[in-house]
Structure 1
Amino acid sequence: MEEIWIQWIPEIGFPVMVTFYLLHRIEGKLDMVIASIHTLADEMNR
């Protein structure tokens, strides 16, 4: 997968590529945070 990222750098620019890479990396972590917030809200409503 990283090979694809490296090939895109000259085409779309380094700052844009870094942004996409970082968003891709934190997407899964953000999903876990959202799930935790929903679980916490459910527990507090009991």
Structure 2
Amino acid sequence: GRKSVQSRILLNSTSGISLLALRNVSTSDAGTYLCSTKNAVTGGYEIQ
């Protein structure tokens, strides 16, 4: 389940704001998604 969610995040890296809306869970997760979005935008697709 987690990997599929992360894959979706990488695909939607251009819409970082939408990621938070899709996964509006705990703060720790939100921070992780924020970091992964930044890395994906810069070209780092290995955030697992």
- Quickly name the TM-score band, shorter chain normalised: 0.3 to 0.5
Structure label with greater radius of gyration: 1
The structure that is helix-richer by fraction is 1
TM-score for both structures, normalised by structure 2? 0.38
TM-score for both structures, normalised by structure 1? 0.39
Structure with the bigger RCO (C-alpha within 8 Å, sep 6+) is 2
